[in-house]
Structure 1
Amino acid sequence: MESTPVAKMNFGKSLLVPSVQELAKQHLTNIPARYVRPEQESPVTYAGASVPVIDIQKLVSGDSMDSELQKLHSACQQWGFLQVINHGVTPSILEDFKREVIDLFKLPMEEKKKLWQQEDSFEGFGNSFVVSEEQKLDWNDMFGIMTLPLRIRKVDLFQKLPSNLRGIIEAYSNEIKSLAMIIVCQLAKALRIDENEMRELFSDGVQSIRMNYYPPCPEPHKTIGFSPHSDADALTILFQLDETEGLQVRKDDIWVPIKPLPNALIVNIGDMMEVNNNFS
């Protein structure tokens, strides 16, 4: 694994864009042209399929370990997405984090400006991957922040966060890291890779949190909340704050909506991971 000095690490940057949340407050009847996606075709969706569900407790202990491991391997290979239940992340931490994220996006604009993106970084309020003034924009606002390892944190931004949010980010990021390590080690087992090697590879891995807010839209058929994409990381663990079936997964050229299960987390196997047919 290549080691890069932290001072030279570049986690991406984005051109500064207006707040969609503030646009939505203007009670527009038409969305600005930059958000209109004339090329956006209505996707072919299929609600009859569902993303696999993996029980983490069964995966790590008990009589069902082997069958649950095979389910995990198949889910990663065939879908690249799964929902995990009995994942060990403390329910009260999820509830506290949900409350603090909602409150973060309720901050007055004057307070948000203190947490806005700088031109050299994606961290803070704004959006990501905006590289030109002509680029079409997604109908969402986001807040991004690097969380682990501690040495990569932007301390000045972190200290500006509401104190309750700072505390819950500490707890949430550590529990999510523990869950991620369980998943990658189980994948190592399925792929016949040494678990210690996988643990060493990811134990000091980079973790970031992106919080997304999707304001009401007067013309939802003309725009999109988040452009179709794949994640360039190893794992994305998604905590959905409500039961809206907004997330869709593309499988066999069909978009399948994910119905979030109560207290479940959604896992996306990123581009850095490749799961093959070696399981038997």
Structure 2
Amino acid sequence: MKEDGVLGWGKSLPVPSVQEIVRNDPKFVPERYIQDHKNRPVLDSTTFGSDSSDIPVIDFSLLISGDEDELNKLDFACKEWGFFQIINHGVAVMVLSKMKAAVAAFFDLPLEEKKKYSMAENDLQGYGQAYVVSEQQKLDWGDLFFLITCPLEDRNMKYLPTTLPGFREAVEEYSRELQRVNEEIMAKLSLLMGMEEDGLKKLHVVMKQSMRMNYYPPCSKPDLVLGVSPHSDGGSLTILLQADEITGLQIKYKEGWLPVKPIPNALVVNVGDVIEAWSNGMYKSIEHRAITNASNARMSIATFVIPDVGIEIGPVESMMQDRSRRYKDIKYLDYIKHVLDRKMDGKAHTSFLKLEGEP
């Protein structure tokens, strides 16, 4: 991996594998995973103020063909929700299935085998847990495997399992397909932001891509734990494959938590902090989290798009014509280090992007 790779200074303290905790005693929930009362999930669906079906669903094939209604839907989704699902995205079902199978096969490995790919002391690539910065903080009920996938020179091949036939090929094929999907979405967002189609691509300088594979074991007390704590994403765009037909993802909406029910073979897309800054707050990154359940394990694969670490992020000119500047110009390297040095805490870290006095 290059010395200046963005995730090279990410640091997370080693913690036990949740998968192994459950294997050893399915009923045991260590104190460190039990969330404070205010953070515990409410699992009664009647308490949700909206329905999952309200979250915009965009027909990707219509969007890239220039359909005006679908473009307006994308604009609305990014302004009002920060999240949307895409269907007819052109990623073959076989490619999705192979990726899901690859992730399942990795987490099925014996612990000692998975440990061969453990995160190094100063790297977030590999097997382990992220955003663990103190011995006192509450832990998430899940394990992860994190890889940098693009560009090729940023990959660290030692993290690619050699004992899993087809794993590398599945990751590479899925990664290529998501690059295409991402570039098409970025092109349409560029137009909505008053730029040429390649505007956001140029702002990135290099569109880097990384992949977080999540495994959430069942929990005997799902109302006390979180699979992933509330956070927004520090990149520009995230594309999520919900690998199981189990609802676990929730987004913050009107002060409540709204479940994102999986649509078979759809992809979930959300705006990251970088797009929020570039759009001067017109498109906002949204808090989201994952919950668990008592009976089934759940997997998901989040693919993050981030810009080159050397660039500055801040509002583009076209986003300041009708509104005053709300965000600073800041080097992305400084921002992502700020994000990675902290535990997940909603959108608290985005204050680092904003001008003084901006909410």
Paired residue for 1:69? 71
Distance 2:227 2:243 in 1: 15
For residues 49-198 of structure 1, the aligned pairs below 5 Å read 49=52, 50-61=54-65, 65-158=67-160, 160=162, 162-198=164-200
The TM-score with structure 2 as length reference comes to: 0.72
CA distance in 2, matches of 1:201, 1:160: 36
How much has 1:134 moved relative to structure 2? 1.2
1: CA distance between counterparts of 2:69 and 2:81? 17
1:30-49 matched pairs, under 5 angstroms: 30-39=28-37, 40-43=39-42, 45-49=48-52
Unmatched 5+ residue regions in structure 2? 284-318, 320-359
Deviation, 1:242, is: 1.2
Q: Structure 1-normalised TM-score?
A: 0.91
Q: Secondary structure at the match of 2:3?
A: helix
In the alignment, what sits opposite 2:25? 27
CA distance in 1 between counterparts of 2:92 and 2:126 reads: 26
Counterpart of 1:247?
Answer: 249
Cα contact 2:40–2:224 (8 A) shared by 1:
no
- The aligned counterpart of 1:16 is 14
Deviation at residue 162 of structure 1 after TM alignment: 2.4
Q: Deviations over 1:96-127 (max 9, x none)?
A: 11111111100011211111111111111111
Give, in angstroms, the shift of residue 45 of structure 1: 2.4
| Structure 1 unmatched runs, 5+ | none
**8 A contact 1:115–1:160 mirrored in 2:** no
RMSD of aligned residue pairs (Cα, Å):
1.9
1:7 aligns with 2:7: no
SS at match of 1:110: helix
Structure 1 equivalent of residue 218 of structure 2: 216
Give the Å deviation of 1:38: 2.5
Q: Percent identity?
A: 42
Q: Which moved more, 1:34-43 or 1:256-265?
A: 34-43
Q: Give the residue type in structure 1 aligned to 2:22.
A: A
How many Å separate the matches in 2 of 1:73 and 1:161? 44
- Residue 347 of structure 2 corresponds to none
Cα 1:71–1:170 shift into 2, 3 Å: same
Distance 1:127 1:96 in 2: 24
1:250-265 matches, cutoff 5 A: 250-265=252-267
Give the Cα separation in 2 of the matches to 1:249 and 1:48: 12
User: Which amino acid counterpart does residue 19 of structure 1 have in structure 2?
Assistant: S
Deviations 1:24-79 (A, max 9, x none): 011243311111113324455234352100111111216xx111100000000000
Matched to 1:245, the amino acid is T
**1:203 deviation in Å?**
6.5
Residue 203 and residue 174 in structure 1: after superposition, are their counterparts in 2 closer, same or farther (change >3 A)?
farther
Question: What amino acid maps onto 2:15 in structure 1?
Answer: V
Aligned length: 272
Distance change >3 Å, CA 38–CA 76, structure 1 → 2: same
- SS of alignment partner, residue 138 of structure 1: coil
Whether contact under 8 Å (1:181, 1:202) holds in the other structure is no
For 1:142, what is the secondary structure of its paired residue?
strand
How far, CA to CA, are the matches of 2:205 and 2:101 in structure 1?
Answer: 29
More displaced 10-residue stretch of structure 1: 161-170 or 132-141: 161-170
SS, match of residue 213 in structure 1: strand
1:80–1:269 contact (8 Å) kept in structure 2: yes
CA–CA separation in structure 1 for the residues paired with 2:11 and 2:73? 37
